[in-house]
Amino acid sequence: MSEDVRIEGRDEEPLVEALAEEAEATTTAAPGDRVEELRAQIRYHAERYHQDDAPEIADAEYDALVMELRRLEEEHPELASDASPTVQVGAPPSPAFAPVRHSVRMMSLDNAFSFEELTAWGQRLERLLADVGSDAERGQVAFVCEPKIDGLALSLRYESGELVRAATRGDGVTGEDVTANVRTIAAIPHRLALPRGEIPGVLEVRGEAYLPVSAFEELNRRQEQAGLKRFANPRNSAAGSLRQKDPAVTASRPLSFFAYQVGEADGGAAGPSGAALATHSAALELLARAGLPVNSSVEVVHDLDEVYAYCHRALEHRHDLDYEIDGSVVKVDDLALQRRLGSTSHAPRWAIAYKFPPEERTTLLEAILISIGRTGRATPFAQLRPVVDAGSTVGLASLHNEDQVRLKDVRAGDTVIVRKAGDVIPEVVGPVLAQRPADSSPWVFPSTCPGCGGPLVRLEGESDTYCVNVDCPHQQRQRISHFAARSAMDIEGLGEQRVAQLLAAGLVHDVADLYSLELGQLSGLEGFAEISARNLVAAIDASRSRGMTRLLVALSIREVGPTIAAALAGHLPDLDALVAAGEDVLAAIDGVGPTIAASVVAFFASERNRAVLDKLRAAGVDLSSDRYRPPDASGEPSAVGVLVGKSVVITGSLERFTREEAEAAVLERGGKSPGSVSKRTFAVVVGAEPGASKLTKAESLGIPQLDEAGFVHLLETGEAG
Ligand code: IVH
């Protein structure tokens, strides 16, 4: 039993079950009433999901409602009904599309939310096989394991090799005609690529249409630029993109497709052209030969242990892919056996979906608050009722800026959908409008700073709002902690708490005051033993010699991070030369440009900032460049490192370097380390849990990918590979 699929603090109980039980525990209604209530809720949410492509609750919460209903129906068989959503599939097709009657019903899948439930399915299968299977079949059953793609199901009908009809699943009996839209999907062939003699009269291919994660992110970037609402997730945007009246809209969204099943086929369900297919894996091979995309991580395995191992791997690597998966699908490989096992009212007995723990949850948004950063930027964030999401508790989530809050229209008191995917920071996806309190009103960006009470100002044409009071205590705390951070002056032992203490005691007012701190002043403070005070003074002292690049990073100049700091320090011998240089000189430096140059000039135009610089100089802090090399006699700049002019992107975590250290190592050798891959990227360093879109882009552009050893080699030689 794996720990990964469990949620802490839940008594080893899978989350969806816990949610279902929680709902039951809080319900006192008679079972008949509760069953009716659940059916109405489930129907309502199935329509929002399938018809509107705009779900109002997280998938896990929907699954919990279905599970509770199923339990009640099992406990009270007299309440069972053929019209119950536990018996039905999906939702009725929308009248906006022509109806298509499926010649073979499109079923749903039963879910397993834990390995125990997967085992229970395996044992049920064994019992069934004892009844229906032959001796050989009772011995060993092969399974096909596949990723469960989180998109929307499609049926593609090919007649004499030509694509004649494409339909959504609808309620499993009748779907929606989306042929014109599907013809715009490049991954779906209009003609089967089989030799003439092998082309079946009818071949109905089933599979999942999806939007790649990178395309989804790009689509949301465009939506944002156009001042439009972001899409909640790739599934909804795929479904919304496909179920369009105008195929041109579908064509503008790079949808893709994975085939996972043969539906109707002449030669019967046994396979096309009478060439009886014996196994599901052979059917997938045929689909691949016919030019349909079949997922490359499909595997045939031979027992349940191998099934568990597959599901484990899939869960571990779910975020390495450029498409979303919400579980693994396990199918009996033998088609004759599939037929004998048959189906229940809504799902085949020969398959099961192992569902991953949910990454989306709903919770209460208690308040929208403002945090003040080191440059004075005021960032709104959501204070949430703590909720367990993807295995960790989420209580806070950034809302980025005023426009984002307005576009999402989230308000205090709203129930919101929260999402935490992999190592990504938790995000508020949007409000559940159906649960909005009647008296709620739109959130308004506050006009005063929570730290100093001064005005918050949003400049013309900018999306960010700032506290413009440089003495604001919140800004000071952030600025001084950032000055001391590992990626800046690297003063060990000086975290945010300690900075707050020093500020409160009036011992420091700006970053330069750190250098005049004395042992006696520190040891009087709470929690400062003599040894830690001594260590801190020594750490501050050691930071005097970090040099210009780190100092520039440490000063909290807007727009200046390690890459820009390195570019500036590479062209100017010291900070005084930088202060003296005009905007034009700075803007001409490779990678700097006019906006950043203006920001640097504005920073040093401030008398107060120049006074800090003077204090730093007086305290013996080294202002000279650690990167500058004067031009040699030929007028050509001499080589300053093995990575000059090379751009190295780092993704995922490395063992021997933090992200800052890895980037600093590239910069120290004259290279750049931007956050995204482009055709100018020299190499991509791939650590554990890398970003899917970076990998895909690197692959598509043929850029060398290095592991940690390769990175070390690159740092030593400047060579990739
Ligand atoms: S097989 C009768 N295989 O999951 C079984 N379904 O929750 C037909 N899905 O409606 C489905 N990936 O839309 C199958 N590899 C896969 C799948 C898959 C995603 C979807 C499909 C289905 C839903 C059931």
pLDDT digits (tens, 9 = 90+) for 590-611: 889 999 999 999 999 999 999 9
Pick the CATH number of 15-88 from 3.10.20.30, 1.10.287.610, 1.20.1080.10, 3.30.70.260: 1.10.287.610
Listed in order, the ranges of the chain carrying CATH 3.40.50.10190 are 647-717
DSSP states of 244-265: -S-HHHHHTS--EEEEEEEEEE
Residue 1 pLDDT: 30
Amino acid at 701: L
The response to whether residue 143 sits with its C-beta less than 6 Å from ligand 1 reads no
Compute the average pLDDT of residues 121-143: 79
Mutate to test the pocket of ligand 1, among 86, 148, 257, 292 (most ligand atoms within 8 A of CB): 148
Distance 61 CA to ligand 1 centre (A): 20
Distance 432 CA to ligand 1 centre (A): 27
| Three-class SS state of 556 | coil
Question: pLDDT tens across 317-369, in order?
Answer: 998 899 999 999 999 999 999 999 999 988 999 999 999 988 888 999 999 99
Q: Which CATH superfamily is domain 647-717 in?
A: BRCT domain (3.40.50.10190)
Q: Are 528 and 549 in contact (CB under 8 A)?
A: no
Per-residue model confidence (pLDDT) at position 274: 42
Which residues, 6 or more positions from 14, have their beta carbon under 8 angstroms from its beta carbon? 5, 6, 7, 113, 114, 117, 357
At residue 639, does pLDDT exceed 70? no
Ligand 1 atom having least distance to the Cα of 353: 7
Residue for token pair 């290279």: 671
Q: How far apart are CA 167 and CA 209, in angstroms?
A: 11
- According to CATH, where is 2.40.50.140 located in the chain? 360-465
Cβ of 153 less than 6 Å from ligand 1: yes
In this structure, which residue's CA is closest to atom 2 in ligand 1? 107
Q: Where in the chain is the domain with CATH 1.10.150.20?
A: 473-545, 548-618
Sheet holding 648-651, edge to edge: 648-651, 683-686, 705-706
Element of type H or E holding 106 = none
Tell me the helices (H) and strands (E) count for the chain, helix number first.
Answer: 26, 21
Ligand 1 geometric centre to CA of 706 (Å): 36
Cα 521–525–528 angle (5° rounding)? 100
Q: Could you say which DSSP state residue 92 is in?
A: P
What mean pLDDT do residues 414-441 have? 87
Which residue's CA is the closest to the ligand 1 atom numbered 23?
108
The one-character DSSP state at 232 is S
Class of domain 111-355: alpha beta
In sequence order, which residues have a C-beta less than 8 Å from that of residue 262 and are 6 or more positions away? 203, 204, 205, 206, 269, 271, 272, 277, 283, 286, 287
Give the strands of the sheet with 111-112, arranged side by side.
111-112, 351-355, 325-332, 143-149, 299-301
pLDDT digits (tens, 9 = 90+) for 157-199: 999 999 999 999 999 999 999 999 999 999 999 999 999 888 9
| 360, containing H or E segment | strand 360-372
3-state secondary structure of 721: coil
CATH no., domain 360-465:
2.40.50.140
pLDDT tens by residue, 39-75: 999 999 888 888 777 788 888 888 889 999 999 999 9
CATH homologous superfamily of domain 473-545?
A: 5' to 3' exonuclease, C-terminal subdomain (1.10.150.20)
> What's the gap in Å between 353 CA and the centre of ligand 1?
8
CATH class of 548-618: mainly alpha
pLDDT (0 to 100) of residue 643: 86
Give the integer Cα–Cα distance in Å for 612 and 623. 12
Q: Parallel, antiparallel, or unpaired for β 351-355 and 111-112?
A: parallel
Per-residue CA distances from 356 to 7, 113, 192, 376, 481 (Å):
11, 7, 34, 40, 39
Of 133 and 206, more confident: 206
Residue 140 has pLDDT above 90, yes or no: no
Question: Ligand 1 centroid to 261 CA: how many Å?
Answer: 9
Q: Which amino acid is at 113?
A: F
Q: Which of 543, 584, 593 has its CA nearest to residue 563? A: 593
User: What is the dihedral angle through the alpha carbons of 31, 33, 36, 39, rounded to the nearest 10 degrees?
Assistant: -60
Pocket test of ligand 1: the residue of 49, 106, 143, 208 to mutate, having most ligand atoms within 8 Å of its CB, is 208
Q: What is the SS3 assignment for 159?
A: strand
Could you tell me where in the chain the CATH 3.30.470.30 domains are found? 111-355
- Shortest-distance Cα residue to atom 7 of ligand 1: 109
Please choose from 324, 329, 344, 346 the residue to mutate so as to test ligand 1's pocket, defined by most ligand atoms within 8 A of CB.
329
Q: Ligand 1 center to residue 241 CA distance, Å?
A: 19
Contact status, residue 667 vs residue 562, Cβ threshold 8 Å: yes
Atom of ligand 1 nearest to the CA of 295: 15
Of the candidates 666, 581, 566, the one whose C-alpha atom is nearest the C-alpha of residue 626 is: 566
Residue-level pLDDT at 635: 44
Atom of ligand 1 nearest to the CA of 146: 15
What's the whole-model pTM score? Answer: 0.65
Atom of ligand 1 nearest to the CA of 106: 2
Q: Which residues are catalytic?
A: 148
Task: Answer yes or no: are the C-beta atoms of 450 and 472 closer than 8 Å.
Answer: no
Q: Tell me the mean pLDDT in the region 495-521.
A: 94
